[in-house]
Amino acid sequence: MSSAPRTATERTKLPYCHESFHNLQELRHSASLANKVFIQRDYTDGTVCKFQTKFPSELDSRIERTLFEDTVKMLNNYYAEAEKIGGQSYIEGCLACLTVYLVFLCIETRYDKVLKKISRYIQEQNEKVYAPRGLLITDPIERGMRVIEISVYEDRGSSGSSSGSSTTSSSGR
Amino acid sequence: MKSELTLLTDPVFLVLLRMIHLLELQSVVLCAGPEAVNVTCEETYPHSSMDWFNQCSRMEKAQSFIVNILPDCFIVGCPYLAVHLSPAIPVFAVLLFVFVMAMLLRTSFSDPGVLPRALPEEANFIEMEIEAANGNVLAGQRPPPRIKNVQINNQIVKLKYCYTCKIFRPPRASHCSICDNCVDRFDHHCPWVGNCVGKRNYRYFYLFTLSLSLLTIYIFAFDIVHVALRSVDSGFVNTIKETPGTVLEVLVCFFTLWSVVGLTGFHTYLISLNQTTNEDIKGSWSGKNRVQNPYSHKNIIENCCEVLCGPTYPSVLDRRGVMLEDSTSPTPSDASAASTHKSSNPVSQTTKSSAPLIPNEHTPDEAKPSIGAGTQKSTSSPKEEKPPSPTSPNAVAPAVIKESAH
């Protein structure tokens, strides 16, 4: 993010990928962490794992609303699939009980399988969508399934204007 | 005299004796072992080594009772019943006993659903939201309580802020003062098991109490059968002389029965209503003016299925993680079950906190040391002090703090 105020034409140039972020490796080597945005849990459907799809204002200039919402909705779908109470979970539960839960030494639970899918999805999203925009999503399981942490990076070359510029310029539209 | 001699050669008795010794050894090893666990997880799962020892020793009470007393009830009768009735009787007792022990160990040593403490950035973010939502509090005035209102199934549920863990507790979560952690779907802290009972281990706890009730009833019944059969052969008084232990143990089983079966019945009632012990004690969903239970499916079978046959939730604790002594990059907590976190791990780097922690004037006493520790931790990490933009939290916070169904 340049320190000069962004012109109208620059703002319409979204997605923000004209800086030097091309992939995750470059992001890690040439960028410094500016800010972290936390997407909280949505408890309107009870205690199931679901995240709010409300678009945080700090990401206004960094990524399109639809891309962000698609990511969060996809994650919510994965978690709903993992926590679905139906035929498969009953069979798994009964089988586990009968084998005194030793069956879990041999097979993976459905939740674990879905968690792996989620991890792959987040990795793929980071590589394709978020890293080119200077963002990085952290898997919610690493934050106790409480938040989706999105790290906002600044290019080290332009960090002379300091870290607060991302938030000030995003709010000063 | 004859029965004692046959006892020593009885294979079932020998197997049980070996199991008892193994279990006693195991509990000693487990008590001595996990100091490493406590030190490494100090931040996210603080649990002093003394507490772990106490947990093991409390769990040992349950173990020693089940392991020593209950089988003794049965050991004396085993050979007699196997010969006179059926060898399946002691075999089934052994299987049931193994199941009880397995469930006890599983309940005791599995993570109940502990919510790890918020890392400094997350804690700061939440503080900023709270500050923005509260607006300007005049000096000397008490700041409003940190509560979020959430609408779940058309009922308003209040989420409280935990000053120790620095998070807004999810619905049904509660902070256990003994374990010093917030636990998801907190039921109660069981001193016999030496662990909290929460979302992840409630079904094991229930199966433990249920199978223990069945085992107690089974042993009680067959002890009576044993005494009755012997009395038919040699008279009641002679039976008492020959096997005084059995009669005594019938009495022990009788008194044990009431407490264990009562507990199982109570938990069956809670499961059918999809309530936790904590909610029942506090009367969260009872009374005319109170909110109705928003988590209940209004159907006993559905409630039971959800609690007992629901998915097996992963643990979000990193029991094997190494805590770095320098506070620049606190270790994120991984799922101990899933091994897929490596690729999406953010690179550890200097973290910049956007605002210092705002101490709440009326913070409860127990939270003050943790807030002090928190600020100490954040100040020691190298960072640039950058006050956040005043407009963006305000834009985000009011909509977040007061959620309602859209």
> In chain B, which residue's Cα lies nearest the Cα of A85?
B310
CB contact under 8 A, B310 and A89: yes
Q: Provide the Cα torsion B369, B371, B372, B374; round to 10°.
A: 120
Q: How far apart are CA A148 and CA A127, in angstroms?
A: 17
pLDDT at residue B67, as a whole number: 62
Higher pLDDT among residues B5 and A85, named by residue: A85
Confidence class of residue B183 from pLDDT cuts 50, 70 and 90? very high
From B56, B54, B52, select the one nearest B64 (Cα to Cα). B56
* ipTM attached to this prediction: 0.76
Pairing state between β A135-138 and A147-155: antiparallel
Of B80-94, B98-112, B189-203, least confident by mean pLDDT is B80-94
Q: Is B190 a catalytic residue?
A: yes
pLDDT at residue A2, as a whole number: 45
Of A136-140, B110-114, B354-358, least confident by mean pLDDT is B354-358
For B21-70, the pLDDT digits (tens) are: 444 444 433 333 333 333 333 344 444 444 555 555 666 666 666 666 66
Structural contact between residues A135 and A59, judged by C-beta atoms closer than 8 angstroms: yes
User: And the tokens for B276?
Assistant: 């936790």
pLDDT at residue A155, as a whole number: 73
Q: How many CB pairs under 8 A join A and B?
A: 177
For B317-375, the pLDDT digits (tens) are: 865 555 555 444 444 444 443 333 333 344 434 444 444 444 443 444 444 443 444 34
**Which residues in chain A touch residue B43, judged by CB atoms under 8 angstroms apart?**
none
**What are the phi and psi torsion angles at A137 (to 5°)?**
-95, 135
Q: Count of CB atoms within 10 A of residue A26's CB?
A: 15
Backbone conformation region of residue B135, classed left if phi is above 0, alpha if psi is from -120 to 50, else beta: left
- Distance from the Cα of B187 to chain A's closest Cα (Å) equals 15
pLDDT at residue A126, as a whole number: 92
Q: Structure pTM?
A: 0.70
Of A2-11, A79-88, B212-221, least confident by mean pLDDT is A2-11
Asked if A162 has any chain B CB less than 8 Å from its own CB, the reply is yes
**Average per-residue pLDDT for chain B:** 70
Higher pLDDT among residues B332 and A23, named by residue: A23
For B279-310, the pLDDT digits (tens) are: 999 888 877 666 788 888 888 998 998 888 88
Question: Quick one: average pLDDT of B232-236?
Answer: 84
Confidence class of residue A98 from pLDDT cuts 50, 70 and 90? confident
Q: Packing angle between helix B367-380 and helix B120-134, nearest 10 degrees?
A: 120
- Distance from the Cα of B155 to chain A's closest Cα (Å) equals 10
- Distance from the Cα of A55 to chain B's closest Cα (Å) equals 9
Report DSSP state, residue B198: -
CB contact under 8 A, B351 and A145: no
A contact residues 107-126, partner B, Cβ 8 Å cutoff: 109-112, 115-116, 119-120, 122-123, 126
Question: Quick one: average pLDDT of A24-47?
Answer: 82
Q: Domain-by-domain residue ranges, chain A?
A: 32-154
CB contact under 8 A, B314 and A101: no
Q: Which of B56, B162, B190, B196 is catalytic?
A: B190
- With 0-12 CB in 10 A as exposed, 13-18 as middle and 19+ as buried, what is B165? buried
**Which residues in chain B touch residue A148, judged by CB atoms under 8 angstroms apart?**
none
Asked if A106 has any chain B CB less than 8 Å from its own CB, the reply is no
